[in-house]
Amino acid sequence: MISRRALLGTAAAAATLAVMPRARAAGDLHVLNWQGYGTDEAWALEAFKKKTGFNVVHDYFNSEQEMLTKLRTSPGAYDVVLINSTYTQQASSEGLIQPIDSAKITNFSTLLPAMRDSVYLNTDGKIYGVAWVWGMTGIAYNEETVKPAPTSVEVLWDPKLAGRVCLRDDAIEVVSFAAIATGQDMNHPKDLDKIKAKLLALKPQVKTFWASEDEWNKFFAAKQFDVSTYWSGSAARSKTNSKLPVGFMIPKEGGIGWFDGLSIAKGAPNADGAAAFIDYMVSPEFYYEWATKIGAPASANLKANATLPDGDVGKAIHGDAESVKRLTYMAPLSDEERQAYGDLWSEVKTELAQ
């Protein structure tokens, strides 16, 4: 039976235990993020407190919509918020985040220009998000059972892998892959009927859906599937930390690129501390420790990526220039598009589960 669990995001299932922001104490810095996504690493918070004196307190969200809701309903509760670049424009237009003074971000000049200067993070000459990390969504596979290594998105529809495919339960992601498979614009496909038909053709293929990295690892270790959509940074962690035989590729037809930014919430009580925290998060010092101790997406800081040792799995994945060339980066979507993709995926999931 196909799992019908809802999306939990990049964190493990424990992220569902997000709590309301606690009362603010003097010297506190409040951060809103996915749980287990870099900013709440205990060693990092200790180092930041030793450096600045600020005590970092976290609150968590399980979806971008929940993140926006928390910002709307709790003005003044947060200082720093993690926002995927496709939502930054919406957050700024709603007045949920405030402009950032790049002079206070000493690492700003070494960020990748394509992300640092992206229209997704900058509006009317003002900076609303500082590019932090980026990654790719492609196809992961079991190196022991899937040979030769796949190169096409059509591996998801390969009859030889019937009942051995796993998908992330996310409407935008599955629509994007179906658009790629049908030769359409990933961000704004015109023929949704064609996409629906392509997804329905997965009925004999799909074994289960995954919602979190932790769940994905458990399914893979239990040999529940052989091929799946997956994130590049997660693939690196699954291989390095969990010691799973995971291969990862960006299909020859194309893959999904994304990047996350750190923003300052509108009316942040500790705006100076927020800028200092963002600067620390994008620094080579933090990134090296995060990437080598835990495993991380690629840094938007050129100097940070250069610190990784040769042989690092994440460095190898994200440093593959040919794979990067095949990416299309996620663009902001209208509410109407999100609704259409959500409705389409809901119908498809119902059919796949029968």
In the chain, where the domains are located: 13-134+259-314, 135-256+330-352
Q: Tell me the three state secondary structure of residue 216.
A: helix
Q: Are strands 206-210 and 165-168 parallel, antiparallel or unpaired?
A: parallel
Average pLDDT over residues 21-47: 89
Q: Which has more pLDDT, 217 or 13?
A: 217
Q: Whose structure tokens read 């080579």?
A: 284
| pLDDT of res. 5 | 27
| pLDDT of res. 353 | 82
Q: Do domains 13-134+259-314 and 135-256+330-352 have the same CATH topology?
A: yes
| pLDDT of res. 6 | 30
Give the pTM: 0.81
Query: Using an 8 Å Cβ cutoff, are 260 and 67 in contact?
Result: no
Q: 135-256+330-352 maps to which CATH number?
A: 3.40.190.10
Write out pLDDT tens, residues 284-314. 999 999 998 888 899 999 899 889 998 888 8
Regarding the domain with residue range 13-134+259-314, which homologous superfamily does it belong to in the CATH classification? Periplasmic binding protein-like II (3.40.190.10)
- Looking at residue 54, its amino acid is F
- Looking at residue 318, its amino acid is H
Q: How far apart are CA 22 and CA 72, in angstroms?
A: 17
